[in-house]
Amino acid sequence: MDDRFEKLLEAAPDGILEVDQKGRILLVNNSGERLFGYGREELLGMSVDDLVPVRLRTRHAAHRENFAAAPASRPMGQSMRLRALRKDGVEIPVQISISPLPDDGELHTVAIIRDVSEAEAMAEALKESAAQTRQLFELNPVPCCVYETGTMRFLDVNAEAINTYGYSREEFLSLSVRDLRCPEAAPDWESEDGLRCHRKKNGDRIEVEAQRHPMHYQGKEAHLVVLRDITERKRFEETLEEARSRAESASRAKSEFLASMSHELRSPLHTIIGFSELLAEGLEGPLNEKQKRFVQHIQKDSQHLLTLINDILDLSKIEAGRLEIASEVSSLSGLCEEAVSHVAHQAEQKNIEIRTNVPRNLEAWADRTRVLQVLLNLLSNAIKFTPAGGRILIEGSRAGAQLALSVSDSGIGVAAQHHESIFDVFYQVSATTKGVREGTGLGLAICRRLIEHMGGRIWVESELGRGSKFTFTMPPAGGEAPLPARERPVLLVLEDDRAAQELLREYLEAEGYDLVFVESIRETLVKALEVRPDLVMLDLLLPGESGLEALKSLKNLRETREIPVAVVSVVADDTALKMGAAAYVTKPVAREKLLAMVRRLAPKVRV
């Protein structure tokens, strides 16, 4: 054979065989030897049928005869995907193309054989990965579907979609996305953030949130839709809304009732007070000693009743959120002088000395009337609970960023276990120095609420028998707007991983923050309403829920809208910021970065 053609034949990457009419091998190249695993001398003269797996041989012989009857070239890759049997017994997938080769009137055949094991393995792998992708889709715990972009007909749905909507897969595939929409909603109603109202097969409505991603599916332009059933969340929000409006109207009703009741009570009381005064002054004729004592009892008790009514009314106004604070620049020394002048007579009667030490330059940003009310309350308590001949001192000072006023007395004192409770409504510890309870038990409760409304704090330092010191703070004039009066800001953290909780506690508690952990969206909302945190931190990746829903609800609710929300997540995605989050950090969070963020969003009140 021509040298050049021989080289060409041997260099060919595919196996090449020449076979005579009986199927005997006449020629084979290098690649052919390698492919079948036989030596050339073994192959030459061997029947080509022996290179076909035993079970396929009869069919193969028939093929050969057909070919002989109508010889025509058949290129590779067309229907001729076959199995070849190697010498070692291994079957390999091959592609074969054959063409007739006339030789001296006898029909010979040239076969070119290609080993396609690799291509087949690759195709297998592709098929497997497609099956896996399908499985991921199918097993996804949220409802997912794929629809054709133009017709909006469903091309595929997963098990959860079937479960949620109640249609079978076949039913789904005959529907379009439009068929799911609630008929009563506007035909193309969809809010900006993908909220939709859908209807299940049984007619129930569900609220869903849809995320769409364009894709190709079965060679068509399509969209993958990931749905989230937010019916429960919506219902929760509605329940809250309802509860709130009910509470609001109840509280309005209560305030109205109190206002009218106190009016009704006060009018006859004024009459009682007025007439007993007339009697006491003897204008209608002198009273004997006994009668005078009786009238004094009437006067004293009706005064007490009047104070009680006024206090209750005050408190109910505060509780109903109807307290109006008109803050202005207020000189503390001026206020103290005014307060002292009001109680001077009372103090004199018990021979109690009142001294003041309030620097002239202390100016608070506060409501004068309310500060005066607090001061008078503290002073009259001090007089009430200090034995005759005692001392009272009023002091003013700066306390960090705040201003402080304190009223100290040399009276009977308050035991440590009552230091907090005396600020509760109707809580009274001690008899007064006269041995009778005179007050209403509401004074300090009102003081605390007033002070906190103005952005300050109030507390007592005292020991039984060693006098008491009541101190309250106010923001200074010209300072910043009053901050919430919490010394340790409270962070509400949605994090279900105990180890991560521990770590955050470690980082933040030492820095002066209190942490409240919650582990579900529902709990987040409930706690947010309950504790009104200074900052909410949300972990976005919770099993079965997305922290984004918590964010959405927090931003929807009137009470929680203003609370800054920081989002912590492993995935970098700024959706949260668009939805109103104040900051965004990715996990793992470095300590310094976290602290900087928390300090910025939940600044501490310096006390």
Q: How far is CA 531 from CA 492, 528, 563, 570, in A?
A: 9, 6, 11, 27
Closer residue to ligand ADP in complex, CB, 92/414:
414
Considering only 53-61, 163-171, 405-413, 488-496, which stretch makes contact with ligand ADP by CB under 6 A? 405-413
Closest CA to 53 of 81, 25, 17, 82: 82
CB of 304: closest distance to ligand ADP in angstroms? 10
* Alpha-carbon span 129 to 52, nearest angstrom: 31
Pick from 19, 161, 225, 412 the residue near ligand ADP by CB under 6 A.
412
Dig out the tokens for 337 from the structure.
């002088």
Q: Which of residues 148-177 bind ligand ADP (CB under 6 A)?
A: none
Residue type, 333: S
Closer residue to ligand ADP in complex, CB, 413/489:
413
- Per-residue contact flags (x/-) with ligand ADP for residues 344 to 363, judged by CB under 6 A: --------------------
Answer yes or no whether residue 440 interacts with ligand ADP by CB under 6 A. Answer: yes
Answer yes or no whether residue 414 interacts with ligand ADP by CB under 6 A. Answer: yes
- DSSP for residue 24: B
Pick from 110, 429, 477, 500 the residue near ligand ADP by CB under 6 A.
429
Answer yes or no whether residue 439 interacts with ligand ADP by CB under 6 A. Answer: yes
Quickly list DSSP for 271-324.
HHHHHHHHHHHTTTSPPPHHHHHHHHHHHHHHHHHHHHHHHHHHHHHHHTT---
Answer yes or no whether residue 422 interacts with ligand ADP by CB under 6 A. Answer: yes
Answer yes or no whether residue 430 interacts with ligand ADP by CB under 6 A. Answer: yes
CB of 411: closest distance to ligand ADP in angstroms? 5
Pick from 53, 100, 441, 580 the residue near ligand ADP by CB under 6 A.
441
Answer yes or no whether residue 387 interacts with ligand ADP by CB under 6 A. Answer: no
**Residue 45: helix, strand or coil by DSSP?**
coil
CB of 437: closest distance to ligand ADP in angstroms? 7
CB of 354: closest distance to ligand ADP in angstroms? 13
Dig out the tokens for 115 from the structure.
């080993």
Strand pairing category for 391-399 and 353-357: parallel
Answer yes or no whether residue 273 interacts with ligand ADP by CB under 6 A. Answer: no
Considering only 3-11, 352-360, 422-430, 568-576, which stretch makes contact with ligand ADP by CB under 6 A? 422-430
Closest CA to 80 of 59, 98, 57: 98
- DSSP for residue 543: T
Answer yes or no whether residue 94 interacts with ligand ADP by CB under 6 A. Answer: no
CB of 379: closest distance to ligand ADP in angstroms? 9
Cβ-proximal residue to ligand ADP, closest one:
439
* Contact (CB, 8 A) for 188 and 165: no
What lies within 8 Å, CB to CB, of 95 at 6+ separation is 76, 77, 80, 81, 82, 113, 114, 116
Closer residue to ligand ADP in complex, CB, 6/463:
463
* Alpha-carbon span 398 to 96, nearest angstrom: 98
Q: Which of residues 459-498 bind ligand ADP (CB under 6 A)?
A: 468
* Alpha-carbon span 406 to 390, nearest angstrom: 17
Answer yes or no whether residue 411 interacts with ligand ADP by CB under 6 A. Answer: yes
CB of 459: closest distance to ligand ADP in angstroms? 12
Closer residue to ligand ADP in complex, CB, 144/382:
382
Closer residue to ligand ADP in complex, CB, 332/383:
383
Pick from 316, 330, 428, 471 the residue near ligand ADP by CB under 6 A.
428
Pick from 343, 444, 450, 605 the residue near ligand ADP by CB under 6 A.
444
CB of 462: closest distance to ligand ADP in angstroms? 7
Considering only 5-13, 186-194, 245-253, 434-442, which stretch makes contact with ligand ADP by CB under 6 A? 434-442
Closer residue to ligand ADP in complex, CB, 175/412:
412
Q: How far is CA 16 from CA 9, 20, 21, 101, 102, in A?
A: 8, 14, 16, 13, 16
Chain centroid to CA 221: how far? Answer: 35
CB of 518: closest distance to ligand ADP in angstroms? 35
Closer residue to ligand ADP in complex, CB, 343/525:
343
Answer yes or no whether residue 390 interacts with ligand ADP by CB under 6 A. Answer: no
Answer yes or no whether residue 143 interacts with ligand ADP by CB under 6 A. Answer: no
* Alpha-carbon span 259 to 309, nearest angstrom: 10
Closer residue to ligand ADP in complex, CB, 19/313:
313
Considering only 85-93, 367-375, 393-401, 428-436, which stretch makes contact with ligand ADP by CB under 6 A? 428-436
Query: Taking the CB of residue 514, how many other CB atoms lie within 10 A of it?
Result: 17
Cα dihedral sign for 44, 48, 50, 52?
Answer: positive
Considering only 68-76, 242-250, 410-418, 486-494, which stretch makes contact with ligand ADP by CB under 6 A? 410-418
* Contact (CB, 8 A) for 309 and 316: no
* Alpha-carbon span 545 to 496, nearest angstrom: 11
* Alpha-carbon span 99 to 165, nearest angstrom: 58
* Alpha-carbon span 112 to 128, nearest angstrom: 30
List the helix and strand counts (H, then E) for the chain: 18, 24
* Alpha-carbon span 228 to 212, nearest angstrom: 12
Answer yes or no whether residue 85 interacts with ligand ADP by CB under 6 A. Answer: no
Considering only 128-136, 275-283, 408-416, 581-589, which stretch makes contact with ligand ADP by CB under 6 A? 408-416
User: Total number of residues binding ligand ADP (CB under 6 A)?
Assistant: 22
Q: Which residues bind ligand ADP (CB under 6 A)?
A: 377, 381-382, 385, 409, 411-414, 422, 427-430, 439-445, 468
